[in-house]
A and B are shown apart, each in its own frame.
Chain A
């Protein structure tokens, strides 16, 4: 990443990919049964869903926001889908489920893009609100899908021998790359994330840009929610409560600065794979679930800290959200020199 943190189409391989390669090699040597085709395919299948959700999170992080509500949005998708299979038929039920996730994104978008509320606050509120809604719809207990619900291929099936979630993750990669690098709105997302003030001065419709970020982000979440629903085959209000944290962690591990304005799809994929591979390895090593939490936490902080060592050479101004490189920092440094 360049000092300004703005170069996106750079040919440089992001450091997270090196970390992933080193980690993969280490795990293959140290952990028995890690590098077997069966385990790797299973790992990728699990990673697929998280990857799709993380694409959505990445768009929002690029605009310098955060989305916690996705943890409940996928739950609402699954609950609504299973409820609607009987009256409406499977395909329409899935469409409605996905639509619910989109609606959550649209509400986030209106509140954050339109009213300019802090993303952190809005999406936390929506996380709790939508979870209450999903629980209320099914009375708080998981609802089994009616027998013969179609669409099972979405979560469990394969296309040309490759599990569907992996195919969807690859398609999502393509879509995200085109969106971020080939479309005006994608460029606007970077601009708004780097500096909303500068973007407005440059004539970017900031509110609309933010609104679209949350809607498009939730489209990825909707797909992830549909795949999850098909995978578990039931409507669960507690479907994937750690999803927002894992998605944010994956983006951070991949090297997306949460201050916005930078990030590439490949980093998201690398981040997800680092996270999933280490979780998988910890399970293979038969560590208790409590220790797993600690290891994942330490790993996440470690991976992010490691990437900061490179950044440190830009000096103390890196500390605590101070300006990264760029004009502002130069101005400050010049001022200090004069003093």
Chain B
């Protein structure tokens, strides 16, 4: 009896993403002729990269009870830095993107944990600074083309056994993040901070160090999203990534991450990102205006919140609830 209710709660922890994804796929398959093809599935998996990676990063800070709205700007800065570095030292310069992102994350994390600036202000500051720096390095709203012989398109469009390379990166990130949160001491600490910051400090969790790590990892993953931008466009894109943070937060919440902190699991976040990407892809295939897509995205975010609430209420009514 007890195992059954625990299983039910585990299922609820998934949030609204898995059922939504299934319903969306069924509806889109029925209504759009070219939707349910293998090549379109590969298109979706190939396009979800930046969003999925950023969403997993966003989840890592949301479980600590904060959030990061600099993700889109950091991804743009990462892509610019990577493009500049590649032009100097060759394709290995791609690693400049996650490195830059991690640096931005450390900056936000330091402001938030050590100087107790509220997350929204600190990451807003990082967002403006990163966007400004990206634009300045791009010489004013221009893309930074990669030089001859620096082919990184394999990153954006290559396939291994039919699976897009960028999606393999997403899988790797998701698996590592899951192992990190579920089995490493630092990962457990992030969850503890999000559940109850006072208890966490009382039992000796180093708050500053843990929170800086969370934001650094989020920045690193945002930079990784920027790296995938470079792989897809073969250029540094200072104006890319507007709204990525909103979609990333939406994906995380749809994947069952509680905005109050302490609850979240990366695989479900990946499903949340897949749902958003599938919806955008389907509506585009249906030939709807991009504004309708925007309308639908906004409605889905609010609706996800409502469904999440309903599920939580229901889960709370069950005996033996474990928040996660």
User: Which of A116, A259, A311, A321 has the largest number of chain B CB atoms within 10 A?
Assistant: A321
Indicate if the CB atoms of A136 and B292 lie closer than 8 Å: yes
Which of B128, B133, B134, B295 has a CB less than 8 Å from the CB of A300? Answer: B128
A174 at the interface (CB under 8 A from B): no
Indicate if the CB atoms of B125 and A301 lie closer than 8 Å: yes
Taking CB atoms, residues of chain A closer than 8 Å to B117 are 301, 304-305, 308
Nearest B residue to A301 via CB reads B125
Q: How far is the CA of A133 from the CA of B296 in the complex (A)?
A: 10
Indicate if the CB atoms of A294 and B133 lie closer than 8 Å: yes
Cβ of A76 to closest chain B Cβ, rounded Å: 12
Known interface pairs A124-B246, A125-B301; A335-B112 also in contact (CB < 8 Å): no
Q: How far is the CA of A121 from the CA of B125 in the complex (A)?
A: 20
Indicate if the CB atoms of B302 and A122 lie closer than 8 Å: yes
Known interface pairs A66-B120, A120-B259, A130-B298; A319-B207 also in contact (CB < 8 Å): yes
Indicate if the CB atoms of A129 and B302 lie closer than 8 Å: yes
Q: How far is the CA of A290 from the CA of B113 in the complex (A)?
A: 28
Known interface pairs A127-B298, A300-B124, A321-B65; A122-B208 also in contact (CB < 8 Å): no
Taking CB atoms, residues of chain A closer than 8 Å to B125 are 297-298, 300-301
A9 at the interface (CB under 8 A from B): no
Nearest B residue to A252 via CB reads B121
Indicate if the CB atoms of A115 and B112 lie closer than 8 Å: no
Q: How far is the CA of A177 from the CA of B67 in the complex (A)?
A: 32
Which of A120, A126, A294, A318 has a CB less than 8 Å from the CB of B67? Answer: A120
Indicate if the CB atoms of A258 and B120 lie closer than 8 Å: yes
Cβ of A310 to closest chain B Cβ, rounded Å: 12
Q: How far is the CA of A248 from the CA of B125 in the complex (A)?
A: 12
Nearest A residue to B127 via CB reads A297
Size of A's binding interface in residues, CB under 8 A: 58
Taking CB atoms, residues of chain B closer than 8 Å to A124 are 246, 249-250, 301
Cβ of A145 to closest chain B Cβ, rounded Å: 21
Which of B133, B136, B309 has a CB less than 8 Å from the CB of A117? Answer: B309
User: Which of A66, A118, A257 has the largest number of chain B CB atoms within 10 A?
Assistant: A118
Cβ of A201 to closest chain B Cβ, rounded Å: 20
Q: How far is the CA of A127 from the CA of B298 in the complex (A)?
A: 7
Q: How far is the CA of A204 from the CA of B309 in the complex (A)?
A: 23
> Which residues of B169-192 are within 8 A (CB) of A?
none
Cβ of B140 to closest chain A Cβ, rounded Å: 7
Cβ of A26 to closest chain B Cβ, rounded Å: 20
Q: How far is the CA of A66 from the CA of B259 in the complex (A)?
A: 14
A292 at the interface (CB under 8 A from B): yes
Known interface pairs A125-B299, A136-B289, A294-B136; A320-B197 also in contact (CB < 8 Å): yes
Taking CB atoms, residues of chain B closer than 8 Å to A323 are 198
Taking CB atoms, residues of chain B closer than 8 Å to A288 are 136, 140
Taking CB atoms, residues of chain B closer than 8 Å to A66 are 120
Taking CB atoms, residues of chain B closer than 8 Å to A126 are 298, 302
B13 at the interface (CB under 8 A from A): no
Which of B126, B246, B298 has a CB less than 8 Å from the CB of A297? Answer: B126
> Which residues of A232-255 are within 8 A (CB) of B?
245, 248-249, 252
Taking CB atoms, residues of chain A closer than 8 Å to B305 are 111, 117-118, 121-122, 125
Nearest B residue to A307 via CB reads B117
Known interface pairs A120-B259, A132-B291; A294-B121 also in contact (CB < 8 Å): no
9 A-B contact pairs sorted by A residue (CB < 8 Å): A122-B305, A132-B292, A245-B124, A290-B135, A293-B128, A293-B129, A297-B126, A304-B117, A308-B115
Chain A contacts to B: CB under 8 angstroms: 66, 111, 115-118, 120-122, 124-133, 135-136, 140, 245, 248-249, 252, 257-259, 288-298, 300-301, 304-305, 308, 311-312, 316-323, 332, 335-336
4 tightest Cβ-Cβ pairs between the two chains A and B = A129-B298, A297-B128, A293-B132, A132-B294
